[in-house]
Amino acid sequence: MVDGSSARTFHEQLSARVDERLFGMREPLRLVLIGILTGSHVLIDDVPGVGKTTLVRMLAGMLDLSFQRVQFTPDLMPTDITGTSVLNLRSNDFEFRPGPVFAQVLLADEINRATPKTQAALLEAMQEGQVTVDGTTYPLPQPFFVLATQNPVELEGTFPLPEAQLDRFLLRVRLGYPEPADEERILDGTRSREVDTEPLADAPSLAALRTQVAAVRMEAPVRRYVVAIANASRAHPELAVGVSPRAVEQMGDAARANALLDGRAYVLPDDVKALIDPVFGHRIVPTTDARIRDRTADEILREVTGSVPVPTESSEG
């Protein structure tokens, strides 16, 4: 049974706590929370100084999840993330020393600054919830989420994430700049400078919330709407790669979580429309000709979405 009021109250409590430190974060927080409620990974794609790291640290603390942060750099090695086997001189045996990936929330800061070899070290962890070191497989703590950040502007010395790894992220979130009124609040001297990581009191368990997400209904007209958008992206002449079946499946998960946070036990077309850019935008690839003409993936995705009729109330019935 879906208890929408409990989930909505939970979201409001989280938002209120975050707003004490970070202003204008309600929608980005909602998207990151959708990733956590669906057991998925989130890519936070924005410029420095907008609160990416602070948001993730606060959320991990309020949800009472173990947290580790790794600053990705070109000299970072895969074992710096996964851990390594070292010789114990007392026992004369090798023993495994776990790396920072053994946390429930791993903040991969500026992930595109690491080499592809190091980026690939996360793939097994993200997909399988485990890492393999020296032929031995070690399970990661559950739940496990990678919340990665990258700077889309300063690209010198970076290594763009390959499509296979981008597809592992349920959502791409852009925080954006706060509204002028919120920036004025930053200057008024009353904002807390402390990062509040105290667990949220009386919060429902993540396991219970994830069970409720799975129980949210998605009726046939809304399902057909998602599939129609995916098919339209694959047929668009300016897209070399359209929306994948994994993205379609994850859109269903995300739309259900979005509905639950609104207190509903059913998905509306508006849930899908609100998530099209965060869920689909980083998975599509414009053709070379489109890029030469300065056509962006966001522009093309808007055209694709606009070409698909939105289900009406009568068609949903």
Answer whether residue 187 shows pLDDT above 90: no
- Mean pLDDT to the nearest integer, 189-201: 68
pLDDT in tens, 67-117: 999 888 888 888 888 888 887 777 777 788 888 999 999 998 888 888 888
Tokens of 249: 């499946």
Matching residue, tokens 């420095």? 48
Residue 16: inside a domain: yes
314: pLDDT strictly greater than 50: no
Residues in the chain: 317
Same-domain check for residues 110 and 193: yes
Question: Residue 289 class from Cβ within 10 Å (0-12 exposed, 13-18 middle, 19+ buried)?
Answer: exposed
| Domain end point (choices 204, 233, 255) | 204
One domain for residues 40 and 152: yes
* pLDDT at residue 189, rounded to an integer: 66
Q: 246 and 121: one domain? A: no
If asked whether residues 258 and 194 sit together in one domain, one would say: no
Q: How confident is the model at residue 225 (pLDDT cuts 50, 70, 90)?
A: very high
Same domain, 112 and 180: yes
Computed over every residue of the chain, the mean pLDDT equals 84
- At residue 280, the 3 state secondary structure works out as helix
pLDDT at residue number 275? 94
| Cβ within 8 Å of residue 65, ≥6 positions away | 103, 104, 105, 143, 145
What is the tally of structural domains in the chain?
2
Last residue of a domain, one of 204, 236, 264: 204
Question: What is the torsional sign of CA 272, 276, 280, 285?
Answer: positive
Domain CATH number, residue 39:
3.40.50.300
pLDDT, mean of residues 274-301? 90
Closest CA to 67 of 109, 21, 100: 100
Residue 317 scores a pLDDT above 50: no
- Residue 268 belongs to some domain of the structure: yes
Q: Do 193 and 221 reside in the same domain of the chain? A: no
Domain boundary among 141, 172, 204: 204
Q: Is 178 exposed, middle or buried (0-12, 13-18, 19+ CB in 10 A)?
A: middle
Please indicate, yes or no, whether residues 158 and 17 belong to a single structural domain of this protein.
yes
Residue 125 DSSP one-character state = H
Judge whether residue 16 has pLDDT over 80: yes
Q: Specify if 317 maps to a domain.
A: no
Instruction: Please check whether residue 180 lies inside any domain of the structure.
Output: yes
Average pLDDT of the residues in 255-275: 93
What's residue 280's pLDDT?
Answer: 92
Q: What is the DSSP letter of 142?
A: S
**Cβ–Cβ under 8 Å, residues 63 and 36:** yes
Do residues 193 and 248 both lie within one domain?
no
Which domain does 226 fall in, by range? Answer: 216-310
Residues 170 and 246 in one domain: no
Angstrom distance (rounded) from CA 173 to CA 67: 20
What percentage of the chain has pLDDT greater than the value 70? 93
Q: Would residue 315 count as lying in a domain?
A: no
Peptide bond into 311 cis (omega under 30): no
| 18 has pLDDT over 90 | no
Task: Please give the DSSP secondary-structure letter assigned to residue 24.
Answer: S
Sequential DSSP letters for 83-118: EEEEEETTTTEEEEEE-TTSSSEEEEETGGGS-HHH
Same domain, 1 and 127: yes
126 inside domain: yes
> Residues 15, 119: one domain?
yes
Distance of CA 290 to the CA centre of its chain: 27
Beta bridge partners of 71: 109
CATH of the domain at 262: 1.10.8.80
Do 2 and 133 share a structural domain?
A: yes
The rounded distance, in Å, linking the Cα atoms of 161 and 149 is 11
> Nearest to residue 59, comparing CAs of 24, 37, 29, 101?
29
